Chain A
Amino acid sequence: DVKVTQSSRYLVKRTGEKVFLECVQDMDHENMFWYRQDPGLGLRLIYFSYDVKMKEKGDIPEGYSVSREKKERFSLILESASTNQTSMYLCASRTQAYEQYFGPGTRLTVT
């Protein structure tokens, strides 16, 4: 079974803090993704990566950066957390487009 794990299920941070969300997959997938999910807005793509050290902006990259130093790990970074970044963050990985595997999500609250 493919496993995508995320470092935390719940996280509470203060405004202005630097936040790291980690995602690890164990199936040697080339492509990895970060989404955020908010009520009424569905899933929105923040960043994705199709290879080590490669990254591409998604639909809402502002306020975020990413790092992919190893194939299995894709990190989402909030340089200076703000309250409007309170959300559910979902990581996913895949090889073929139709079978995208998601992690359990991290619910981040910024106070």
Chain B
Amino acid sequence: DAKTTQPTSMDCAEGRAANLPCNHSTISGNEYVYWYRQIHSQGPQYIIHGLKNNETNEMASLIITEDRKSSTLILPHATLRDTAVYYCIVGDGGSQGNLIFGKGTKLSVKP
């Protein structure tokens, strides 16, 4: 079973920030938080990951709470092409570890 809880769906206006929450209250000390997304009819795409510090890259920012029990993926200026299912996953980062994909959040960016 996935170790994360995400809302089933969210809407966001084009050009606004999209904030996608994720609860992972049972995360252990050596587990990372990973985010992937899947655009319709494509394979999932890696976005970002973090352990305990906030992270930012060209695609998104990841904010992890101090107790690490929840996190938020931020797309600062959502576009229509960001419409996708977003998966929040926790795992230990080992090279042979498996990533368990839950059902994710369906983000719809509207004009």
Identity of the chain A residue whose Cβ is nearest the Cβ of B48 in the assembled complex: A98
Summarize B's interface: helix, strand, loop or mixed.
Answer: loop
**Complex contact B98–A43 (CB within 8 A):** no
- B 65-81 binary contact with A (CB < 8 Å = 1; else 0): 00000000000000000
Q: How many residues of A contact B (CB 8 A)?
A: 26
- Within the complex, what minimum Cβ distance (angstroms) separates A81 from chain B? 22
**Complex contact A101–B96 (CB within 8 A):** no
**Complex contact B34–A98 (CB within 8 A):** yes
Among residues 84 to 106 in chain A, which have CB atoms less than 8 Å away from a CB atom of chain B? 90, 92, 94-105
Report Cα–Cα, A19/B34, bound state, in Å.
33
Is B111 on the interface with A (CB-CB < 8 A)? Answer: no
**Complex contact A97–B32 (CB within 8 A):** yes
Give 19 pairs: A residue, B residue, CB < 8 Å, sorted on A: A4-B43, A35-B101, A42-B101, A42-B103, A45-B98, A50-B95, A58-B98, A92-B44, A96-B93, A97-B32, A97-B34, A97-B95, A97-B99, A98-B46, A98-B93, A100-B44, A102-B44, A103-B43, A105-B41
**Which A residues have a C-beta under 8 Å from some C-beta of B?**
4, 30-31, 33, 35, 40, 42-43, 45, 48, 50, 58, 90, 92, 94-105
